[in-house]
């Protein structure tokens, strides 16, 4: 911890010791929404300290206890924010109660993206690990003839944002949750980062000066990554090329998600323009 008295305090600062604190802000979702990009962009801020790997504490490791969780955190100095991201929290039934019992005031960030492209991206990720899985089409429908969509498939389930959000609103006021547009994070990273910095109570230090658009990747990249002077783009697992999905299937999914999207726009007071 920080030493008392002038010299000891200064020494602590020089050694960059600081203290491990439980996160005051968590990126809770969503899978394939742009959470890694957001975290990497945010880490450019000198007052943000974040865990690199996803701790999965509030979904898979909860029995390990808060002390275990806190130990994973980076050391921070006075005024710095500790953060982590685990995109599966958003769809985990127990997560809201668990985070709330850690600290009612925890700030939550959800990066959302068009549920249809999100589902295809999710499938693409799985496909890259298990090339022998069934086609996207066959996983989408319970019954292709009737066009009944299989909502139990996680790739589809995750995108029903309104349904998951209702669970969080039992424990957190809507004003404590920031919804970041995954699309705008790509088209206007500085603009979205401005909203995030405001929400976290941080000085707007990350601006368009920090980004350049990489045409090959189709992504904005950082001119200088955290703690480095070299440009930094997200890794090769990001921005994978999606397989071609039958347009009729895409349209069927658009129709399926529309009412849920509308409900989500109403709940958040934001139109994400997915339709």
- Active-site residues, by number, are 32
In Å, what is the CA distance from 218 to each residue of 54, 179, 212, 239? 25, 22, 11, 8
Structure tokens at 18: 């600081």
In the numeric block, which tokens belong to residue 205? 């230090």
Contact 70, 21 (CB under 8 A): yes
Radius of gyration of the chain (CA): 20
Cβ burial of 166 (10 Å; 0-12, 13-18, 19+) is exposed
3-state secondary structure of 107: strand
Which residues on adjacent β-strands are paired with residue 81? Answer: 48
Tell me how far apart the alpha carbons of residues 112 and 152 are, in angstroms, rounded to a whole number.
Answer: 20
- Binding positions are 32-36, 113, 121, 238-242
Short-list 222, 219, 186, 228, CA closest to 207? 222
Handedness of CA 70, 74, 78, 81 (dihedral sign): negative
Distance CA 51, CA 78 (A): 18
* Distance in angstroms (rounded) separating the CA atoms of residues 66 and 152: 32
């Amino acid at each position: 911890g920080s030493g008392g008295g002038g010299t000891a305090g200064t020494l602590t600062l020089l050694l960059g010791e600081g203290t491990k604190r439980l996160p005051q802000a968590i990126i809770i979702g969503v899978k394939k929404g742009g959470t890694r990009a957001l975290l990497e962009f945010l880490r450019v801020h000198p007052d943000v300290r974040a865990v690199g790997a996803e701790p999965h504490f509030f979904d898979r490791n909860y029995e390990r206890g808060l002390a275990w969780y806190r130990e994973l955190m980076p050391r921070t100095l006075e005024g710095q924010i500790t953060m982590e991201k685990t995109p599966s929290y958003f769809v985990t039934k127990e997560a809201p109660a668990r985070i709330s019992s850690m600290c009612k005031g925890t700030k939550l960030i959800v990066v959302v993206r068009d549920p249809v492209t999100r589902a295809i991206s999710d499938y693409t990720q799985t496909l890259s690990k298990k090339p022998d899985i069934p086609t996207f089409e066959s996983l989408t429908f319970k019954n292709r003839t009737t066009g009944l969509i299989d909502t139990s498939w996680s790739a589809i389930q995750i995108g029903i944002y309104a349904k998951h959000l209702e669970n969080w609103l039992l424990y957190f006021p809507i004003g404590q949750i920031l919804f970041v547009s995954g699309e705008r994070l790509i088209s206007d990273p500085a603009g979205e980062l401005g909203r995030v910095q405001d929400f976290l109570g941080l000085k707007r230090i990350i601006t368009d000066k920090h980004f350049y658009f990489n045409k090959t990747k189709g992504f904005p990249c950082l001119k200088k990554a955290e703690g480095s002077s070299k440009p930094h783009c997200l890794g090769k697992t990001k921005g994978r090329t999606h397989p071609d999905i039958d347009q009729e299937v895409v349209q069927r999914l658009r129709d399926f998600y529309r009412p849920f999207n509308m409900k989500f726009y109403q709940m958040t007071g934001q139109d994400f323009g997915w339709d």
